[in-house]
Amino acid sequence: MSGLWDVVYMLETSPEIFVKADPESKDYVAVDGEADALLHCQDRSWPVHINVVCGRSPHLDNLFAGGIVREARICGDAELMRIAIDHIYSGGLDADFFNNEDEAYVNCVKLWDLARTLCINTMMAECLKQLVKLLQKKVVSYQHLYCNVVDVPAQYMAGLKAGVQLAYEKDIKPMKEFFVNFVEDTHFWVIEEDQFKEILAAVPKFAEDFDAKIPTLIREGDYRPYSTPISCVVCSRTALDQDNHWAMLTGDDGDTAGTCYRCWQQLDPDDSSDDDYE
């Protein structure tokens, strides 16, 4: 499988890229004293604590001149800024912001881009985790449609298309990689879908990025285009029950064999590394 399914581990063990939020930090949940500054964005304003916002965001620290200035305005979307302020104080993200799948992918990209501007590494990491959750759900959903020979619903990939377009427009490398991982984890079945072809037409570089993976996968025997397994080689059951999917496909005498995700999770990494996409 691709890195899409190991992303939480990756984010939490790469301090050179992401700084993990400290769950013991009291500043996230309780702040002593009344707000001592105002932050404006568009037509909205928020009372904030200089020591908190400047401590969490180098960009805000610069706007407030390290606390010398007590009122600042930041350009951008006010709703995104509200979520950023919530994150500064709580360490989390507003889950409701990602409930509508048609908008959720774009929201992840926009919020990550704001976090990059604000230099808030923890928020960047949380946005990536939200994107991965969306893509994991989409992988499972699409595999079930494809293996059951069910047409994808109208507008099934509209939100995905918008997210891919914006991620490539903003040149957000980790998000571009996760969108490529999505294609890989559908075992490339998705590339024949008309709705997916619309994404490729809109973002040609996206096609180039996942096309580059295919030769290596063919050599390793992991790329079995348009062919679906009957049952898992480990548990002998289908991978199409609830919340399960095909984690790996391999070839055996011209036939496609597969390992379901539940069994894949139990494999010894030392034994399965040759079959894994990584």
The two tokens of residue 29 are 């949940």
Q: How many other CB atoms are found less than 10 A from the CB of residue 277? A: 19
> DSSP class of residue 155?
T
pLDDT band at 6 (very low <50, low <70, confident <90, very high): low
- Give the pLDDT of residue 223: 58
Percent of the chain scoring above 70 in pLDDT: 78
Global pTM value: 0.81
What's the rounded Cα separation, in Å, for the pair 139 and 146? 10
Nearest to 172 by CA among 140, 206, 143: 206
pLDDT tens-digit map of 75-113: 989 999 999 999 998 888 888 889 898 999 999 999 999
| 273 pLDDT more than 50 | no
Give percent helix, percent strand, percent coil of the chain, each to the nearest 5. Answer: 55, 10, 35
| Whole-number Å distance between alpha carbons of 118 and 81 | 10
Instruction: Compute the half-sphere exposure of residue 65: CA atoms within 13 Å on the CB side of its CA.
Output: 5
If you search the block for the tokens 């496609």, which residue do you land on?
A: 256
